[in-house]
A and B are shown apart, each in its own frame.
Chain A
């Protein structure tokens, strides 16, 4: 797996002990006094500006607290930056003598397109072949949450999920498939309502062995 290109992208992954933020870590150290509430009020002011520039009346009743709500909503949509795989995985890895495929499918996923700041959402299907270590099933969904609650590109999201599972469990193989609808394509631009984007990452046995891959695909996306 190639992580070099992940540097500069999507924040520091403490699990790997690699700082993936070129500029920001230093900036974060420099602005330690920029507390969370400070950041929230900056975002809130930015939203007030946006509402005004869009031609709306910022003082009308329905919009009075919108900047604050929108700022909090945006912080919720990007809460994945503050979470690390290590925090959630550490306790839930168990030794188990099981080497058959484990699949968790139809995990609802919501993320933000980093190019337009517009949501994309869909389902993630994850499978792995344990190698003496299994993980609590909800942790797979939590990994999806950590990486999806960020400004993302679907390709990178898929890869990050696969990498995280791979590093945590060292399984014989990992497969991740994401099918998602991008509002940036549906609500604007080409405006194709039924288009859906599918990305997949196959690692280990899933990559080497076509039969394993077929079994996974049959059990997940071929209904």
Chain B
């Protein structure tokens, strides 16, 4: 999904040229950009050369039926892990653990089963509102793709509508779809911002995520109180410092 970034707002994305990027398991066989660098960002409303709704078309990499079919091999893998750690998979407390752990892991990665278009389609409304809309303190749970250990924190989203507003819970649903995957916090922030951009074509979008990474807290450096903050500012949030300032102040209060 990396390349589908930014359409009317210009892209600072590095993975630009030509090849389809495989991120988060998604091989997006979508419209490929011509090799030779990013195209000029087209005008916002007029017919852009590029399809705007690219994340809407992303394919799911798995389905509910897939989940059931793959559960036995997942459970077998977890049994191997238990043995490898020196535990006895036959003891009472661990008897059904491989199945529970496998189902839990499938739940933690259920974002791969969902598509933006499914959750958003019905909830975009025409509204003559152009003031900032903020939904903050959205609890977020994800999995670190490097260590397979949880990440959790809060997401704050703000956008400036351009005649179209989104049902508020849909912002939280977008967070869910992208966070329930094997993620890197930087990419997660960007994906959320891009999805909102593509769905609404707003004047600007800002996404801030503050999270605690268990891979840093439970192991490695073991810094209990550390937090990682990432942000993506698009459109007028990026260009106008006052707008950005207003957004950042309102999410702090």
Q: Chain A: residues with CB nearer than 8 A to chain B?
A: 8-9, 11, 21-24, 27-28, 39-40, 42-43, 45-47, 49-51, 53-57, 60, 62-63, 65-66, 69-71, 73-78, 81-82, 108, 110, 114-119, 121, 151, 153, 183-184, 186-188, 193
Contact = CB atoms under 8 A, between A and B. Distances in A.
Contact of A54 (B62, B150, B214): B62
Interface string B175-219: 000000010100000000000000000000000000000110111
A86 to B, nearest CB: 18
Contacts of A193: 139
Interface string B28-60: 000000000000000000000000000000000
A73 B148 contact: yes
Interface residues of B, number: 57
A22 to B, nearest CB: 7
B74 interface: yes
A108 B223 CA distance: 11
Given A73-B215, A151-B87, 11 more contacts: A11-B86, A49-B74, A56-B61, A56-B109, A66-B148, A70-B147, A71-B81, A76-B219, A115-B93, A187-B152, A188-B104
A5 B19 CA distance: 59
A9 B97 CA distance: 14
14 contacts: A24-B88, A27-B88, A40-B84, A45-B80, A47-B77, A54-B62, A62-B145, A73-B149, A73-B219, A115-B96, A116-B104, A151-B97, A153-B93, A186-B141
B150 A55 contact: no
A84 B145 CA distance: 32
Interface of B: 22-25, 27, 61-62, 66, 70, 73-74, 76-78, 80-88, 90-94, 96-97, 100-101, 104-109, 112-113, 139, 141, 145-150, 152, 182, 184, 214-215, 217-219, 224
Contacts of B82: 151
Contact of B80 (A8, A22, A43): A43
Contacts, number: 167
A46 B81 contact: yes
A50 B147 contact: no
A114 B152 CA distance: 20
B108 A187 contact: yes
B66 A66 contact: no
B84 A55 contact: no
B100 A115 contact: yes
A39 B82 CA distance: 10
Nearest to B225: A108
A129 B91 CA distance: 35
B59 to A, nearest CB: 11
Contacts of A54: 62, 70, 74, 105-106, 109, 112, 182
Contact of A188 (B107, B112, B184): B107
Contact of B182 (A56, A65, A117, A121): A56
A154 to B, nearest CB: 12
**B74, B94, B148, B214 interface centre (most CB from chain A within 10 Å):** B148
A49 B73 CA distance: 8
A188 B96 CA distance: 17
**B108, B109, B149 interface centre (most CB from chain A within 10 Å):** B149
B84 A42 contact: yes
Contacts of B93: 9, 114-115, 151, 153
Contacts of B87: 11, 24, 78, 81, 151
**A22, A39, A82 interface centre (most CB from chain B within 10 Å):** A39
Given A53-B74, A56-B25, A57-B22, A75 B215 contact: no
Contacts of B218: 77, 110, 119, 121
A215 to B, nearest CB: 28
A14 to B, nearest CB: 14
A78 B86 contact: yes
Contacts of B108: 187-188
